[in-house]
Amino acid sequence: MRAGMVRFVGRTAELDQLHAQYAAVVTAGLRCVFLEGAAGIGKTTLLDRFLTDLAAANQQTSHQASLAGSRPAGRQPSRSRRPASIVRVEAAESARSHELDLAHRLIDALADGSPGAHPPARRGDAADDDAVLDVDRVRDTGDELVDAMTRTCGRGPVVVRVDDGHWCDASSLRVLSYLVLHAARLPVLLLLAGRPHDSPWVDGVRRLAASGGATVDLSGFDVPTSRRCARPRASSRRRLAGCALSSTGRTAIPSG
Ligand SMILES: Nc1ncnc2c1ncn2[C@@H]1O[C@H](COP(=O)(O)OP(=O)(O)O)[C@@H](O)[C@H]1O
Ligand SMILES: [Mg+2]
């Protein structure tokens, strides 16, 4: 265990659920997982753990592929055996009023990671999620995202992790919904995590996840899990700051 890392505990059912969704993506196409929970409950940690597991599986797949180097020229490994591309974007509180900010960053991340030239989007009203959005711009950006995703999927499945979705600008949430609706056949796992947040656009993505993926309400740990979380290993005297028993004593709410 590297210095500064905490020991991951619990969340077995949620991890199984994420791996099952990924397996479904590989065989049947796009799935969306909507992960909701209070601040500090463990959303980012859970997704990081899942992506670390997936990256480790990727390495194993690449290793096996290099061992099987005798594959006839021109023959591609089957879709299920190709390693996943993992793309991470976070919404930022400061960018919430910049319409299409997250969608543009996702498109750039799918390309080569460097910021692309996107025409400036109309500034929205951060306080008003119902503000009339530029429908044409949302559709054009949605098409751009579907194209970028299609290119990336040419190399194998794609896992997109969008964190802190509660800060996501409304237009980008609509673009993510557009992706789910228009890229159903692509091997894409879209993971969207955030705190519970009232927004019709968040509701839209949650509905899509409920019908074509999963919605996960992340709750606090039970007492035995929280004790394992709080107990430092013999090698580490560092007290884990992230996990504490809740005032009811029944669940542990990681602080942070
Ligand atoms: N499954 C877990 N095992 C160990 N520690 C955890 C776990 N989940 C959360 N934590 C701790 O709680 C803290 C807050 O978790 P985090 O994932 O950042 O919450 P959120 O993203 O929901 O705000 C983390 O820094 C981590 O130390
Ligand atoms: Mg987080």
DSSP string, 35-78: EE--TTSSHHHHHHHHHHHHHHHHHHHHHHHHHTTTSPTTPPPP
Pocket test for ligand 1, best of 45, 229, 251 (most atoms within 8 A of CB): 45
Domains by residue range for the chain, with CATH: 12-59+80-219 (3.40.50.300)
Task: Give residue-wise pLDDT tens across range 79-96.
Answer: 556 788 999 999 988 777
How far does the centroid of ligand 2 lie from the alpha carbon of residue 164, in Å? 6
Whole-model pTM above 0.85? no
Q: Which is the closest atom of ligand 1 to the Cα of 8?
A: 3
How far does the centroid of ligand 1 lie from the alpha carbon of residue 242, in Å? 6
Residue 41 has pLDDT above 70, yes or no: yes
**Which pLDDT value is given to residue 251?**
36
Ligand 1 site residues, Cβ closer than 6 angstroms: 6, 8-11, 37, 39-45, 229, 240, 242-243, 254, 256
Residue of 118 and 170 predicted with greater confidence: 170
CB 130 within 8 A of CB 124: no
Distances (CA, A) of 237 to 3, 6, 179, 223, 234: 11, 11, 46, 21, 7
Atom 25 in ligand 1: residue holding the nearest Cα? 242
Residue 101 has pLDDT above 60, yes or no: yes
